[in-house]
Structure 1
Amino acid sequence: MAALEDAASSLHDEPWYERETFETDDYALGLVHHGDRDPSGRLTYDDGDRAAVVNGAITNRDRLGLSTDELFESLFDDPAALLARLDGPFVVAAIDQTTDRLIVATDRLGTRPCYYLDDGTAFASGLAPLITRLDDPTVDERAVSDMLLMGYVWGEKTLVEGVTRLPPATVLEYRAGEVSTDRYWSPSFDALPDDGYLTRLADRYRTVIDDTAGTIDDDAGLWLSGGLDSRTMAGELARHAGRAFDDLEAYTYDANPSGGGNPALARRVADHLDIGIDQVELTPELFLERLGEAVDLTDGMLRWSSFLNLLSVYALPDDHAGVLMEGAGQGELMGHHLRRRHFTGTDSPVESMYWSEAMVDHGTVSDLLAADVDPLQSFVDTAERSDARTKKGTILEAHLDNYYARMTLASNEIPRSRAGTRVPFAHREFLEYVARLPLKYRIGTVPFTNGTIPFGVTPAKLTLTRDLNPDLATIRYERTGVAPKYPYPLHVAGFLTTTAAARLLKRTTYGGRSTTDEWYRNDPRVREFFDDLLERACERSVFDAETIRRLRREHLAGDADHMVTSIAAITTLELWMERNLD
């Protein structure tokens, strides 16, 4: 039990957190949770010889008709069979003295992190508790390479050798000193017919929000912007306010991009739905105060520019909603990340992964690394291990297994430190449908640009907004400047026109100068903070010091924009290593 207490003390803690522990002769299991906040965000079971926890919510439990005892009895009887039936964002962990067994499992999207020592003797929701069990924690240079290339880590590796991340839709069993993992679910990637696809998508989307709403006890909160993903989610959640849960509250911030009009548009959506909305501010002071904590919460494996806006959670009013949600991942599942070009304009899955995920060229990564690591090796390994029979299947399988768990949903640990969270999309029927998205509904790119300039929106996102709430489709879409009720070609033209105009006027926009770059250039405290981190990174053996200094010079001279890419990745890594390894 002492080892369990030590592990729990290494995790993020707040005065209002509570702990539950379970112990058998040979195993111990602990759960750190939010107490009275979001009580439906967990389940526990203990019969003396066996114990289990669900950290998260099973959204289809009522439909399955499973009592708590029936759920956990099924888990012990046949973990993979049960998990294949469950929807929702969760991690499951169980200890079974009667069969000398430990069980850990992730949901279909891997929405919550779960790490384990390679020998299977310990697991945790963060790296810190496992680092304390290693005699000589060593940085995995392949993971550092991933961070420098993509701003996140690909595959099952972590920043620490000997610690592995359990992938999505996977159950791990430790028995008699042996570790085994089993994939319990994988969708088909064969495209469905174009005809009627978008109409049926709306029905499936409504179902996932309905199921999720039924797991919220108190108030629900939603990050709302001028975009379409949060708008459609707000419209569906509003149907349940006062019924499934007490009230729906919205929060907004001036970002994506700053000065782009998001707060005003979010208020129009909130007013239409008759829900309250608060605007929270992200300031340089808050950024500097909370960045280290946020880097720890994301285990140093997500560059800070990817979660910057979510630091606004620290500025929420004290009486904020007990469950916080956002539209992250929604658009990507509907074709907004993987572009048509990534399938039709590449020769191999490795090339496709590189073009879809890399934020900088692989030559820059090689220059930054002191070690001899191939920046593309993670993609090569993924392609070689894939069971998919086609190039398209390999690309989509890699995307589903990596992009959501390790990038777009990884930042959820930050709001989860303050409240309960829900990711509605860890839902079998929905995922099996969007996995078969026809190619024509993926985001296109401007001809003769080598696929580098996107159209800015997908037909699926527009149609979903129109079908679910036509009134919300009359409110301008911030990214294109056009209301969703208008045809797709007008949105493409609007995106290209407004983005080009904003750049000419030197306003922050898509692909333009970032808010943090403005702080870096104009706020002495931010400049000193990052310059000191970069200089300390120069002293670390994993990096090439001269390349770091060259990138900084290029950035300040205006010859290149490295702030949200290389500089963000380097400083994230350096900050995490100082706080967790040094």
Structure 2
Amino acid sequence: MTGIVGGTASKPTIDGMLDSLYREDWYSLERRSSDAFGLGVAHHGRKDPQSGTIHCGDRVLGAIYGVVSNAAALPWTSAELLRGVVDSPDAVLPKLEGPFLIAAMDRETGTIRVATDKAGSRPCYYTDGDGFHFGSELKPLLEGVSSPTVDRQAVSDLLLLGTVIGEKTILEDVANLPPATYLTYADGTVETTRYWTPEAREDRGEEYVRGWIRRFEDAMDDLIGTVDGPTGLWLSGGLDSRVAGATLRRLDADFETLTYDNGLQGDNEVAPRVADRLSVRHRQITDGMGSPDEFIESIERCVDCNDAMQSWAYVPALSFMFHGLADTADVVMEGGTFLGEDVWSHYLENDVSPEETLYRKRKQLSAERVASIVPAIDDPRRSLRAEAARTSGDDDARRSCDAMRRFYSYLHRRSNVIQRSQVGTRSISDGAVLSHAVDMPAELRMQTVPGTDGRVPLGVPPIKLHVTRALDMGLDEIEYERTGVAPARSYWLHAAGFVGKQLANRFTDDSPGPYVARYRRNERIRSFIDGLVDDARDRPFFDGDELLELREQLSAGESANLTPLAAVVGLELWLQRHVDPLERSAASQSVPASTR
């Protein structure tokens, strides 16, 4: 994908690191090196000229991968901003908004600083075993790891959550830089600092919904200013993308909407009507899966892009992402997931701990099942506790909201690397929006069925209905796909509609989802996936019999949850392609390796 690499590296090393990144023919490459440092950036060139720039001054060599969306309102040039990141990161970084990864290197002091944005929209991995190197992918860092070892806790994360969370990666000697964090490399050591936490709202007298719309609109307005070419917006039958589209329309932005076929009939019916109401061009993607061979190739390319740090089952319309998206738009906007589904009201009202909130909301398998598949891990929830310990706030409610926002950087933001390999991307990474979302009142969040201990949702958070109505663009008259009821109608009609649709689907619709259906029905795809699972069963960190049972349950229709198995398949594929060759090379030189 497009990306960034750098560190204490000479020009040949930077060239090799750039060559290791996922690549498309149209990418533009920039690189700068000095005696002590090197930087390289791969970007979309004329498709997205503002996203990915290197600056080389007398003292500071630096790069902004992505965009600082509020740059026009700041008192610094790009060069001054990068000097500020080196000299005063705690003062400068909290003032920056937008989706970015920033690197700044001081030739005089030998200090390197690398910073993620407030939402963690760009991955950053690093290693300091032989000098210091960082990159937006794992592959460029492999040469600096003498004996790559798979991190068992990361494997546990993949099965439990479908993604790796926290500061770990799938390799023990390579770390991940979390959101809103900068690292400092100086005198041969690395230190990380969280530079921003969500702030309590200062204007509590302002009506919450109006405050949300104002902040969201300001953030989208800043993002629009960083885009030069044709812009797309994913549009479903839901309300989040509808709100994003309405906001762009209110800002008089030039964009078109895209909907892919995800097996939900409501999306295909509702999205064109929303686009028509917005008076924008709409494009319906009718075949997001492609042929079997195209689908398999897309899985392989997906794993190369995200380094198996996340299950490929999370990425929708995989084939279209690699065989169509680049011809559709130069930049794709994402509205974000800020409308009350992150932490449900029950968790806040009952003071459920951040660890338990993350576990209940995001687990793909039970902790007990994961421990049986990865026997070296006695506590799969250890990663959740570690993430909860990094949160801010005086009570469990606020800490749970902070933890979930951070989790989205490991989930939704990480899946964006697939889109970013083909087009520029823009997502909300604005401190005012993030803080406001954390402070959302419990009564506006997802409500749950009484007597279910918060486990059964009522289908739509009230905040979604309130925002859609307040935008006053007629979009509240078009039914919401999930409930079959227009947002203009009462909340309880939506709750009843959601429950009714769930009951109807249980008795009339046994569709397992497009990816699972292809696995069960297509021999070519099934053989590809089964073969990789068989290979993974030989890895020492898996219990082969438990892994086989997981696959057989999916194949037999006893489970429709592909996410954990897809994570295993991706991990095995990535190890075979990028780590096992290093192991064979080390073995030929009589140097022990430990990937198995």
SS at the partner of 1:270?
helix
- Mapped to 1, the partners of 2:83 and 2:168 lie a distance apart of 32
- 2:257 is aligned to 250
Q: Does the C-alpha gap of structure 1 residues 240 and 393 become closer, same or farther in structure 2, counting only changes over 3 Å?
A: closer
Alignment-mate amino acid for residue 282 of structure 1: G
TM-score norm. by structure 2 comes to 0.90
**What CA deviation, in whole Å up to 9, does each residue of 1:315-342 have, x standing for no partner?**
3266422111233x42xx2320221233
TM-score, length basis structure 1: 0.92
Q: Is the 8 A contact 1:475 1:483 kept in 2?
A: yes
Q: Is the 8 A contact 1:111 1:404 kept in 2?
A: no
Contact 1:191–1:439 (CA<8 Å) still a contact in 2? Answer: no
1:209 corresponds to which residue? 220
- 2:488 maps to 1:485: yes
Q: Which residue of 2 aligns with 1:517?
A: 516
What SS does the aligned partner of 1:62 have? helix
Q: How far, CA to CA, are the matches of 1:139 and 1:562 in structure 2?
A: 28
Q: State yes or no: 1:418 paired with 2:419.
A: no
For residues 482 and 128 of structure 1, the distance between their equivalents in structure 2, rounded to whole angstroms, comes to 47
Q: Name the CA distance, whole Å, in 1 between partners of 2:219 and 2:39.
A: 31
Name the residue aligned to 2:438. Answer: 435
The letter of the residue matching 2:541 is V
Q: 1:383 to 1:289 in 2, by over 3 A?
A: closer
Task: State the alpha-carbon separation in 2 of the partners of residues 353 and 79 from structure 1.
Answer: 30
Tell me, in whole angstroms, the C-alpha distance in 2 between the residues paired with 1:191 and 1:20.
42
Query: How many Å separate the matches in 2 of 1:407 and 1:565?
Result: 12
1: CA distance, partners of 2:371 / 2:560: 16
- 2:65 alignment counterpart: 55
Q: How does 1:324-403 map to 2 (within 5 A)?
A: 324-327=332-335, 329-330=336-337, 333-345=338-350, 348-386=353-391, 388-401=393-406, 403=407
- Which string of whole-angstrom CA distances, capped at 9 and with x for unpartnered residues, describes residues 7-60 of structure 1? 111101111111111112211111111111111113331124421111111111
- Quick one: distance in 1 between partners of 2:187 and 2:119? 29
Aligned partner of 1:577 in structure 2 is 575
Any stretches of 5+ residues in structure 2 without a counterpart? 1-10, 581-596
Contact 2:516–2:560 (CA under 8 A) maintained in structure 1: no
Q: Is the 8 A contact 1:149 1:360 kept in 2?
A: yes
SS at match of 2:340: helix
Q: Distance in 1 between matches of 2:510 and 2:556?
A: 19
2:43 corresponds to which residue? Answer: 33
Alignment-mate amino acid for residue 458 of structure 1: P
CA contact 2:246–2:473 (8 Å) conserved in 1: no
Q: 1:201 to 1:522 in 2, by over 3 A?
A: same
Post-superposition offset of 1:562: 4.9
Query: Could you say if the C-alpha distance between residues 203 and 191 of structure 1 is closer, same or farther in structure 2, counting changes exceeding 3 Å?
Result: closer
Structure 2 Cα separation of the partners of residues 337 and 311 of structure 1: 28
Shift of 1:84: 0.8
2:457 to 454, 458, 462: 454
8 Å contact kept, 1:221–1:324: yes
2:314 counterpart of 1:306: yes
Conservation of the 8 A alpha-carbon contact between 2:468 and 2:476: yes
1:535 aligns with 2:534: yes
RMSD (Å) for aligned C-alpha atoms:
2.1
1:289 aligns with 2:292: no
Alpha-carbon spacing, 1:194–1:522, altered in 2? closer, same or farther (3 Å): farther
Report the more deviating stretch, 366-375 or 73-82. Answer: 73-82
Contact 2:97 2:431 in 1 (8 A): yes
CA distance in 2, matches of 1:125, 1:93: 11
Show the counterpart of 2:592: none
Q: Which amino acid aligns with 2:450?
A: P
- SS of the aligned residue for 1:40 comes to coil
Query: For the Cα contact (< 8 Å) 1:224–1:326, is it kept in 2?
Result: no
Query: Which residue matches 1:465?
Result: 468
CA distance in 1 between counterparts of 2:118 and 2:46 reads 27
The answer on whether the counterparts of 2:60 and 2:82 sit within 8 Å (CA) in structure 1 is: no
Aligned residues: 566
CA distance in 1, matches of 2:390, 2:282: 47
Structure 2 residue corresponding to 1:321, chosen from 318, 326, 329: 329
Aligned partner of residue 261 in structure 1, secondary structure = helix
Identical aligned pairs, as a percentage? 37
Partner of 1:555: 554
| Equivalent residue for 1:88, pick from 98, 102, 108 | 98
Contact 1:115–1:166 (Cα < 8 Å) also in 2: yes
Deviations 1:222-262 (A, max 9, x none): 11111111111112223445xx6xx312211121xx14221
Deviation at 1:561, TM superposition (A): 0.8
Corresponding letter in the other structure for 2:111 = R
- Using the TM superposition, give the Cα deviation of residue 71 of structure 1 relative to its aligned residue in structure 2, in angstroms: 2.4
C-alpha spacing 1:64/1:151, structure 2 compared with 1 (3 Å): same
User: Is 1:109 aligned to residue 108 of structure 2?
Assistant: no
Question: Judging changes above 3 Å, is the alpha-carbon distance between structure 1 residues 314 and 469 closer, same or farther for their aligned structure 2 residues?
Answer: farther
Report Cα offsets for 1:144-165 as digits up to 9, x if no partner. Answer: 0011111111211000011111
2:87 alignment partner in structure 1:
77
Distance 1:200 1:309 in 2: 34
The question of 1:264 aligning with 2:269 is answered yes
Name the SS of the counterpart of 1:463 in structure 2: helix
Once residues 370 and 111 of structure 1 are traced to their aligned partners in structure 2, the CA distance between those partners, rounded to angstroms, is 33
